Structure 1
């Protein structure tokens, strides 16, 4: 007979363990718990026999079924590469226009282009391609370079903007304030003139003072009427689309500092067929010509 103490309330032996006056009862484990535990042990033993399980010094046990996640993954990758290889070959041999005219090939290009966009472009342009402050919206039909034709989109993707690529898109907005080309008063007046160009209420007197200044300093790129020049990457100042923001502070800051973003040249990072797929994806979603 056990000489351990009996709990007066429950009549169960204790384990002699006590914490702050609380005694531990020596109840047996629930039957369901024991069943689950021993069933788990049995399943584990069978698994050890059938599947790779035990590491060795130079190798591991292969298991009676000879399963290998690594071999299965390698097979799946070979199958995927075979499918992609067929699609890539078709993309390589087709023009951008032919890709868009072939529903099956266009569907493949859109799927591949969407995946590539998510991996490489969404960081700046957003998951949906709507861009943000300083990053172009690729979902509208407003194009800074060209008019959004397939070849123009492909060129921008391939060679980038303001990169070391010899064929990169290149433009430079002067830093009129930082480089001392205009004084603060002139920049303030010019800001009002740009606000007026976008058909918003502006200081008429200030805009009038800035009119000749705009023709002297800005019209060479943005045009005499401020409508921009897509051959130079000069934005249209008369619409409601603003890359760096539309507030007076944003416009004044752009005139003062002349910001200009950089887009990577993907021609050295992505294969030609991948760039074609990305071009078709962006063109289809943005509504280019």
Structure 2
């Protein structure tokens, strides 16, 4: 028999143990498990929340309805069309048609307006620049650059300066764009051809060096004065008829000016020597069959306002 007055630690009942029962007794009873055990880990068999189940069922019903109403399932050659007949391609085509119909009035106005008067109509001029810019980026930027600065190494002219072969007026630009330069597709293409003075044996190497230095002297570039003096006579005999005595050129026949620092193929002694020895024969396609006349007028307006138009 154990004495209730026994004060040994084993039989002592503390006040705390009388006031607070075992905490585990307060825990809610665990739900049942699925019956599976993975390395001692069990999974509770909890049902999904009712709201989640209903949302899941609704999404399934909605997806079946979408399959029926809208294009959904791909086939061998086409997809199911859906009972609503929706087509994103048709919508895009309709929008393109709508914008083309809006723009058509401006294209008609471009055809009916004199080239020199396009700038007088602010609304028409803005349209021409925007439309011409789109045409330029799609058809011309590959050679002349996105900004029109050209590529000197390839002989593609800079359209931002005032040195224009065959003229830089609106009418001149339209003619150049329409028929192109030195191509065999159009009889009306711009045409000029420089002799290959070295390859064809018209001048020997020493005479070419003399002409190179004379051409450099025309533009104020560094040159050998003695060789330039000797090259003046060869220049007068062989070059002045196209490039003029003072090197100012003749844009009517596509002969560039030589008395400035604007060079189509480079102004170094090596580049000039190669030009004289082998000649240059740059070709530009004509766009008469590629673009509508109104589009050619628009791109001419765009090029003209870049800064170099005359």
TM-score range, shorter chain: 0.7 to 0.9
How big is the shift at 1:109? 0.7
Q: How far has the Cα of 1:5 moved from its partner?
A: 6.0
The one of 224, 235, 242 equivalent to 1:214 is 235
Bigger Rg, which one: 2
Mapped to 1, the partners of 2:237 and 2:79 lie a distance apart of: 78
In structure 1, runs of 5+ residues without a counterpart are 14-25
Q: Once the 2 structures are TM-superposed, how far is the Cα of residue 56 of structure 1 from its aligned partner?
A: 5.6
**1:105 maps onto 2:124 in alignment:** yes
TM-score (norm 1): 0.83
Range with greater deviation from structure 2 (164-173 or 55-64): 55-64
1:176–1:70: structure 2 CA closer, same or farther, 3 Å change rule?
same
The 5 Å alignment of 1:1-289 reads: 6=39, 11-12=40-41, 42=60, 44-45=63-64, 47-55=66-74, 60-63=79-82, 65-133=84-152, 134-146=155-167, 148-164=168-184, 165-289=186-310
- Provide closer, same or farther for how the CA distance between residues 163 and 63 of structure 1 changes in structure 2, counting only shifts above 3 A: same
Q: For each residue in 1:6-50, what CA deviation from the matched residue of structure 2 results, as whole angstroms up to 9, or x when unmatched? A: 2xxxx548xxxxxxxxxxxx9x9xx9xxx8xx6997475453244
Task: Tell me how far apart the structure 2 counterparts of residues 182 and 167 of structure 1 sit (CA, whole Å).
Answer: 32
Q: How many residues align?
A: 266
Q: CA RMSD in A?
A: 2.7
The C-alpha deviation readout for 1:207-229, integer Å capped at 9, x for no partner, is: 11111111011111001111111
User: Are 2:163 and 2:308, in contact at CA under 8 Å, matched by a contact in 1?
Assistant: no
Match of 1:22 in 2: none
